[in-house]
Chain A
Amino acid sequence: MTGPVITDTGRAPSRAAPAPAPPRRPRLTWRQRLSVADVTWSPYLYIAPFFVIFGVVGLFPLLYTAYLSLFDRDLLDVESTYVGFANYATLFADPQFWNALVNTISIFALSTVPQIVIAVLLAALLNSRLRLPTAWRVGVLLPYVLSLVALGIIFANLFGTNYGLVNGMLETLGFDRIDWQGNRFASHVAIAVMVNWRWTGYNALIVLAAMKAIPKEITEAALIDGAGAVRRFFSVTLPLLRPTLIFVVITSTIGGLQIFTEPKLFDVMPGSNNGGSSNQFQTITLYMYQTGFETQHLGYASAIAWVLFLVIIIVAVANFLLTRRLASTGVAEDGAR
């Protein structure tokens, strides 16, 4: 606080010098000082809460996790031993980690790809002439509003192996029952369905907003040139949606690689972090949580957290480079019009 006052004294007299009434000067100067301080320092003060809170709950844990990952430390240990990068060496030789990584990527792929395709189609439908357009849009967003925990419980019931609705329908249609819990791929599909159910509508609305922003003239010009509805969609709408689609891909990448609640709730063993009887749907975040808070190997869990962080950064950078390339083509097309 002393900083601003000192710099201020240098300036304030020179500005206040022509003032005719010397007795009032001190009070005015004080006010002026305050107002100068207000202009120069207030913005920092206003933004400070974010950085203070980020420093306390974001940056500090991040750095402390990195520090902790160099130690062999259990929750109730009195002292911890420095082990250097041994936790990371163990991690890269840990089959359960690679299993979790494959599960995460598999669930991510199974959820992101269909999700974006369906979201674009849904947005195209919502963009057509509908009665009560707002009601439809809100309806699409409903799954996103509902509690994730309730959703998890309902889907775990639907995909129940013995008495679940999905298997019941499969059987009536003459198919075999599927062991949604035991079969690795089937469990990934079931969890992906849960993720898609929740996020497709949300993404559809984002895509819809982008569609609404496409100038009508372009579509009309294409129409006059004789392009049918399908051609207009693929040659006009989709290319102009590209930047938005990339945004959607990036957000679902970050979310998808950290997927936790869905696989945790999908497990029929209550409260389990195993991700199935043989870890067939344990994701990296679940494995990290289990290591840290169940097995209480805090050092090792910190190493997992940092590797996950690096994986996300790598994927995000890849996405960013991709975005720049694709977005620039998008701009070129924009410029052409």
Chain B
Amino acid sequence: MLAGAIALTAVAGLSACGDDGSGGGSGGGGDQVELTIGTFTEFGYEDLLPEYERLHPNIKITHHKTGQGGPYHQQLLTKLAANSGLEDVVAIEEGHLADVLDKPQLFNNLADIGPKDVKPDRWLDWKYESAVAKDGTWIGYGTDIGPLAMCYRKDLFAKAGLPSDPEAVKPLFESWDSYFAAGDTYAKKTGKAWFDSDSQIFNAMQNQLDTGYLAKDDKLAIESNPDIRANWDQVTAAGKRGQTAKLVAFSPEWNNGFKVGAFATKTCPSWMLGVVKEQAGPANAGKWAVTDAFPGGGGNWGGSFLAVPKQSAHPKEAAALAAWLTAPEQQVKAFQQTGNFPSQVEALSSPELLATTNDYFGDVKTGELFAAQAQKVGKAQYKGPGDGQIQENATSPALQAVEQGKSPEDGWQQAVDAAKRITG
């Protein structure tokens, strides 16, 4: 009986939705608009969307939330290909952006359909630039970023005779040369590793180059760009000198590495602090520190955009929603919910953000620290289609193979061959 009653209500509810949908779609009512938005993991929009509905009584929003980024983006691409089924507003993560930037015709140009008062100067230059396709289509409004700083183990530094105070360590993290030199000192004194894995360092170095694995003409540049090879040689040489802990990022063994102190430094985007705290655990409280320095300048790892695909039935309303969500005030609220670091210039100087501290890292003012690191990021790197793939499936596994015993030369050949297969 009870089950029957529930089933009946469910059917009634469904048909009610259907009626609403057709009413809004046909445009008979005129004003009533139903929007959908698709996000993954946590964007911190749970409270913001009802607020937008209150401010705009004619808008009704349905939020589709996917737990993990991987499946979400796979669906995104499939639905783009099918040209149906996508939400009016879709979130796109930085690592997957290159694939859609290659197909600007599938998205609305936000410069055309977005509210006129929303200008590129709302965002950090590099964040805005990275969402503009080669033909000039502005594909996505920036949500959050992951500015890079350096995390390190104070106690292990002190034991190895290195400076351990956040100000005093800065010279060690000034350039990649000084970073690897300090690594040699550390490895020699302690016999332990300096960083977690070759690929974590190599990716950060690679991201500081002007162009990614593909040149601006979208031709594979892994062999023609000598900087990529130079970075490869520098990282693998340091790894062979005992600086790498050979732990693949986010693997169970890597998690364990935090607990046993298998490495002394970690490239740290803002969101990594939570990972370090969770994996290192209370037993290592007070041992980790973070400093506002990063070898070779600055860098970014992570962050997303909101885009409006061409298949949306209400592009103007969708763009207005995306513009409102990515306004500094809203992103600061999302930051307070989830810790996603805002990408808007104004948000970076908001008192709420600057006052944020992190007790696990010795009460350091993390808001101020990462706001400063965000300003250090130079130009947006040009990433051609397949760039993220090459990092995931060509260079990272090849660097792992070098850590497992392959020679750096053979590993390089493996990376080049795999990159050719991906772009070919």
Contacts and interface: CB of A to CB of B under 8 A. Distances in A.
Interface string B67-90: 000100010011011000000000
Nearest to B254: A268
B329 to A, nearest CB: 35
A169 interface: no
A274 B252 contact: no
Interface stretch (A35-43, A159-167, A203-211, A256-264): A159-167
A296 B77 contact: yes
A272 B260 CA distance: 25
Measured as residues with beta carbon below 8 angstroms from the partner, the interface class of chain B is: 35 or more
Interface in B24-83: 70, 74, 77-78, 80-81
B397 A163 contact: no
Contacts of B253: 160-164, 268
A163 B400 CA distance: 17
A278 interface: yes
A103 to B, nearest CB: 15
A271 interface: yes
Contacts of A268: 248, 251-253
A223 B184 CA distance: 75
Contacts of A272: 392-393, 397
A60 to B, nearest CB: 16
A315 interface: no
A277 B393 CA distance: 9
Main secondary structure of the interface of B (DSSP, over half): helix
Contacts of B421: 96, 295
Contacts, number: 76
A269 B396 contact: yes
Interface residues of A, number: 29
Contact of A277 (B102, B252, B262, B401): B401
Nearest to B410: A278
Given A76-B80, A76-B103, A162-B253, A278 B396 contact: no
Contacts of B250: 270
A40 B298 CA distance: 77
Interface in B144-174: none
B77 A294 contact: no
Contacts of A179: 404-405
The interface centre, meaning the residue of A153, A277, A290 with most chain B CB atoms within 10 A of its CB, is A277
Interface string A266-283: 001111111011100000
Nearest to B83: A78
Nearest to B386: A295
A75 interface: yes
Contact of B74 (A181, A274, A293): A293
Given A179-B404, A270-B251, A278-B406, A75 B77 contact: yes
Given A162-B256, A182-B405, A278-B414, A76 B397 contact: no
Interface in B181-221: none
Contacts of A294: 389, 392-393
Interface in A43-75: 75
Given A76-B77, A160-B252, A272-B397, A277 B389 contact: no
A271 B401 contact: no
A277 B74 CA distance: 23
Nearest to A153: B252
Given A160-B252, A269-B251, A274-B393, A181 B404 contact: yes
Contacts of B404: 179, 181-182, 277
Contacts of B389: 294-295
Nearest to A161: B253
B27 to A, nearest CB: 29
B397 A274 contact: yes
Nearest to A273: B393
B252 A76 contact: no
Nearest to A270: B250
A163 B398 contact: no
Interface string A143-187: 000000000010011001111100000000000000101100000
Interface of B: 70, 74, 77-78, 80-81, 99, 102-103, 106, 246-248, 250-253, 256-257, 260, 262, 389, 392-393, 396-398, 400-401, 403-406, 414, 421-422
13 contacts: A76-B80, A160-B253, A162-B247, A162-B256, A163-B253, A163-B256, A268-B248, A269-B396, A273-B393, A276-B397, A294-B392, A295-B393, A295-B421
Given A76-B99, A294-B393, 8 more contacts: A75-B77, A75-B78, A75-B81, A76-B102, A156-B252, A162-B262, A179-B404, A290-B393
